[in-house]
């Protein structure tokens, strides 16, 4: 089985160090210039934090993800938040949508999961097919190429009876960000390990890939505050138009 079929589980939910989802909801609205009545696909929605936030703002949202564990949590959170979001399980390369969405978001480093460029390109083609004419995609990757980004990562965090360790490294020659999540279950001395391997495309590569997929135009931002991309930006955010 591929790494991305294992790692996004109940432990991931527990230790996910995500940002402020409410704030990110406003940034997504600004970056994509979302209009009243827009239909949005949250691709690789995880446990639905952005899907739910955008639904609270009145948009029609579909959340799509491979992980049943994360989707179950997303469904429960949507019920608790009293919003109506359709959550669908599937692989991002094979989206079952045809010219349906005004906007697609793929956020928090959910791209580049496949070893072959053709598969990552297939994701973009599938997104293009899901978008309406002039629809827009927001694609967000961490900018590991920045001189300010840590190339070797060692993080530890303990919660309840679980100790979490993340060890990772980025190779700027290959663009591969890879590493390992280790969860040590302290009271039963059990250790669970999950590896990951993500291809982070630099902006020239991403521009080419988006054009190859058939997108017409692309703008790059360096953070969620809409600052234009520069080499030291914390993120690589592409806004691509069909």
Distances from the Cα of 124 to the Cα of 95, 181, 215, 218, 227, angstroms:
10, 28, 9, 13, 24
Of 38 and 91, the one with the shorter C-beta distance to ligand SAM is 91
Collapse the DSSP code of 181 into the 3-class scheme (helix H, G, I; strand E, B; otherwise coil) and give the result.
strand
Is 177 a binder of ligand SAM (CB under 6 A)? Answer: no
* 179 strand-pairing partners: 168, 196
Take residue 179 and report the two structure tokens written for it. Answer: 């590493």
Nearest approach in angstroms of CB 106 to ligand SAM is 7
Nearer to ligand SAM among residue 66 and residue 176 (C-beta):
66
- Whose Cβ is closer to ligand SAM: residue 36's or residue 116's? 116
Touching ligand SAM, residues 52-91 (CB under 6 A)? 65-67, 70, 91
Choose the stretch contacting ligand SAM; rule: CB under 6 A; options: 31-39, 41-49, 126-134, 192-200. 41-49
For residue 216, the minimal CB distance to ligand SAM (Å) is 25
Residues 118 and 203 sit within 8 Å (Cβ to Cβ): no
The span of 42-50, 130-138, 154-162, 166-174 binding ligand SAM (CB under 6 A) equals: 42-50
**Ramachandran angles phi, psi of 28, nearest 5°:** -65, -45
Binding positions for ligand SAM, 112-141, rule CB under 6 A: 113
- Name the CA dihedral angle for 171, 108, 27, 149, rounded to a multiple of 10 degrees: -30
Among 81, 76, 97, 67, CA closest to 3: 67
Instruction: State which residue, 91 or 102, has the beta carbon closest to ligand SAM.
Output: 91
What is the rounded CA–CA span in Å between residue 9 and residue 52? 19
Residues at the interface with ligand SAM (CB under 6 A): 4, 8, 18, 44-46, 49, 65-67, 70, 91-92, 107-110, 113
């Amino acid at each position: 089985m591929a790494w991305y079929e294992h790692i996004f589980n109940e432990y991931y939910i527990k230790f996910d160090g995500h940002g402020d989802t409410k704030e990110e909801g406003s940034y997504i609205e600004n970056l994509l210039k979302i209009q009243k009545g827009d239909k949005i696909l949250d691709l690789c929605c995880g446990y639905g934090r952005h899907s739910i936030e955008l639904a609270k703002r009145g948009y029609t949202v579909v959340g799509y993800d491979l992980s049943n564990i994360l989707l179950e949590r997303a469904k429960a959170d949507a019920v608790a938040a009293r919003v109506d979001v359709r959550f669908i399980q599937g692989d991002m390369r094979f989206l079952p949508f045809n010219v349906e969405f005004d906007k697609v978001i793929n956020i928090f480093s959910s791209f580049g999961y496949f070893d072959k460029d053709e598969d990552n390109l297939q994701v973009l083609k599938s997104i293009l097919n899901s978008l309406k004419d002039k629809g827009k995609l927001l694609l967000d990757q961490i900018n590991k190429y920045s001189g300010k980004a840590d190339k070797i990562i060692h993080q530890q965090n303990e919660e309840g009876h679980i100790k979490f360790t993340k060890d990772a490294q980025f190779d700027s020659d290959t663009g591969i960000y890879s590493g390992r999540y280790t969860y040590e279950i302290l009271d039963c001395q059990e250790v669970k390990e999950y590896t990951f391997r993500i291809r982070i495309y630099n902006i020239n590569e991403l521009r080419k890939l988006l054009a190859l997929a058939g997108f017409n135009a692309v703008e790059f931002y360096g953070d969620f505050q809409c600052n234009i991309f520069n080499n030291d930006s914390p993120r690589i955010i592409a806004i691509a138009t069909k």
